[in-house]
C-alpha cells in the first residue's frame, strides 16, 4: 500500500508536474486514469487540442465559409485580418485550409491506428498464447518490418501500390502492427502462466475462450495507451508522404502538401503558407503523443 502510494505521488508530482496533492491513492485502472487526468497540467493542455483535432476531423471542411480548393487571384497575401494565415501561391486561404486538413490527416491516422491496434492485438494474442513454429515465423517477420525505418518503408509501399487513401491507411497500419504485437505479446507471455488461466483450464474452459475472455482484457491496457502515440505519429507519416508527393495531392487541404506548396516561397520571405500548417501539425502530433504518455503513466505505474 505504501509503495503504491509513493508511486501515485510520483505520478502526481514528478513527471506530470502537478502542484496539487491528493491523499487518496487510486486503485483501479479507471480511477488511476481519472487521477492522472485531474492532476496532469500536460493533459489539461493537450487533451483539449486533441479533442479539437478530432472535432476538426469531423467538421473542419464544413465550417469553412469559403471554397478550399478553387484558386483565386489573391496569391501570396501575407497574414492579415482578411486572411489570418495569409494565402498560398494559388490564392487559397491558408487558415481555413489548415482547419480543414484534419479531415484527411486525422481520419486516415485514426483508421490506420484502429486497424493496427485490432490486427496487432489479435495476432499478438493468438501467437503468444498458442506458441509454435507459426508464431515464431510471425514474430521474425515483424522483426523484419521493424528493422527498416518506418517512413522509408512507407514510401516504398506507396510507390509499389499506388497512393489511394485505402492503400495509405493499410500501409501505415501494417507498419504499426509490430508495435502492438510486441506490447500484447509481452503481457500475454506473462499472463498465460498465471494461476487464473490454469484455473480456467481446470474449470473446463477451452483455449480460445481463455485467450479472448481471460487473457486479452488483462493484456490490452498498454496497447490502448500506446494508441494516441501511434495516432500522432501516423499523422506525421501521412504529412511526410504528402510532403514528398507520395501521399495526398494538392489542392486537397492537407498539412504535408501545404507545407510543400509553400516551401519554395520561404527563401523569398513568403513563410506563411508553410509555417502555419507546420506549426499546427507539430502541435497536433505533440498533443496526441503527450496524451499517450500520460495514459501510459496511468497504465504502467501500478
Shorter beta-carbon distance to other proteins: residue 56 or 216: 216
Which segment (43-51, 201-209, 250-258, 262-270) binds other proteins by CB under 8 A? 201-209
201 binds other proteins (CB under 8 A): yes
The per-residue b/e assignment along 68-103, b for 16 or more CB within 10 angstroms, e otherwise, is beeeeeeebbebeeebebbbbebebbbbbbbbbbbb
Q: Dihedral of the CA atoms 53, 59, 64, 67 (nearest 10)?
A: 110
28 binds other proteins (CB under 8 A): yes
194 binds other proteins (CB under 8 A): yes
Q: Which of 218, 250, 251, 265 binds other proteins (CB under 8 A)?
A: 218
CB of 214 to other proteins, least distance (A): 5
206 binds other proteins (CB under 8 A): yes
CB of 199 to other proteins, least distance (A): 4
Which segment (61-69, 155-163, 212-220, 255-263) binds other proteins by CB under 8 A? 212-220
Total of chain residues touching other proteins, rule CB under 8 A: 19
Place of cell 497512393: 163
CB of 192 to other proteins, least distance (A): 9
198 binds other proteins (CB under 8 A): yes
The residues, ordered by sequence, that sit 6+ positions from 201 with a Cβ below 8 Å of its Cβ are 210
202 binds other proteins (CB under 8 A): yes
130 binds other proteins (CB under 8 A): no
Residue 155 to residue 32: CA distance in whole angstroms:
40
203 binds other proteins (CB under 8 A): yes
Shorter beta-carbon distance to other proteins: residue 145 or 224: 224
185 binds other proteins (CB under 8 A): no
DSSP state letters, 199-240: HHHHTT--HHHIIIIIIHHHHSHHHHHHHHHHHHHHHHHHHH
Containing 158, the helix (H) or strand (E) segment is helix 150-161
The phi and psi torsions of 244 (rounded to 5 degrees) equal -90, 5
The residues, ordered by sequence, that sit 6+ positions from 157 with a Cβ below 8 Å of its Cβ are 167, 171, 174, 175
The phi and psi torsions of 246 (rounded to 5 degrees) equal -95, -5
DSSP 13: I
Whether 125 and 219 have beta carbons less than 8 Å apart is answered as yes
Which segment (159-167, 194-202, 222-230, 279-287) binds other proteins by CB under 8 A? 194-202
Residue 210 to residue 257: CA distance in whole angstroms:
47
CB of 298 to other proteins, least distance (A): 15
CB of 213 to other proteins, least distance (A): 8
Shorter beta-carbon distance to other proteins: residue 25 or 240: 25
Q: Is the dihedral of CA 236, 241, 245, 247 positive or negative?
A: negative
Shorter beta-carbon distance to other proteins: residue 27 or 72: 27
Residues that bind other proteins (CB under 8 A): 27-28, 193-196, 198-206, 213-214, 217-218
Amino acid at each position: 500500500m505504501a509503495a503504491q502510494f509513493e508511486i501515485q505521488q510520483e505520478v502526481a508530482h514528478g513527471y506530470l508536474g502537478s502542484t496539487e496533492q491528493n491523499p487518496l491513492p487510486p486503485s483501479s485502472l479507471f480511477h488511476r486514469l481519472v487521477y492522472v487526468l485531474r492532476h496532469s497540467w500536460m493533459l489539461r493542455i493537450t487533451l483539449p487540442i486533441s479533442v479539437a483535432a478530432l472535432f476538426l476531423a469531423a467538421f473542419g471542411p464544413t465550417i469553412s465559409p469559403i471554397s478550399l480548393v478553387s484558386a483565386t487571384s489573391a496569391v501570396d497575401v501575407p497574414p492579415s485580418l482578411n486572411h489570418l494565415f495569409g494565402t498560398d501561391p494559388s490564392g487559397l486561404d491558408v487558415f481555413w485550409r489548415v482547419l480543414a486538413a484534419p479531415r484527411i490527416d486525422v481520419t486516415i491516422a485514426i483508421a490506420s491506428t484502429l486497424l493496427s491496434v485490432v490486427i496487432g492485438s489479435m495476432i499478438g494474442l493468438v501467437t503468444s498464447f498458442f506458441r509454435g513454429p507459426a508464431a515464431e515465423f510471425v514474430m521474425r517477420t515483424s522483426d523484419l518490418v521493424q528493422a527498416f525505418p518506418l517512413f522509408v518503408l512507407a514510401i516504398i509501399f506507396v510507390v509499389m501500390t499506388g497512393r489511394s487513401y485505402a492503400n495509405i491507411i493499410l500501409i501505415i497500419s501494417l507498419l504499426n502492427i509490430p508495435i502492438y504485437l510486441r506490447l500484447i505479446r509481452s503481457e500475454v507471455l506473462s499472463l498465460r502462466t498465471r494461476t487464473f488461466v490454469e484455473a480456467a483450464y481446470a474449470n473446463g474452459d477451452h483455449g480460445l475462450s481463455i485467450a479472448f475472455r481471460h487473457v486479452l482484457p488483462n493484456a490490452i491496457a498498454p496497447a490502448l495507451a500506446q494508441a494516441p502515440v501511434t495516432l500522432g505519429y501516423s499523422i506525421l507519416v501521412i504529412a511526410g508522404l504528402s510532403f514528398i508527393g507520395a501521399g495526398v495531392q494538392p489542392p486537397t487541404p492537407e498539412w504535408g502538401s501545404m507545407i510543400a506548396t509553400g516551401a519554395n516561397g520561404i527563401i523569398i520571405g513568403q513563410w506563411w503558407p508553410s509555417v502555419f500548417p507546420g506549426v499546427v501539425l507539430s502541435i497536433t502530433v505533440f498533443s496526441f503523443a503527450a496524451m499517450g504518455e500520460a495514459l501510459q503513466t496511468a497504465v504502467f505505474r501500478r
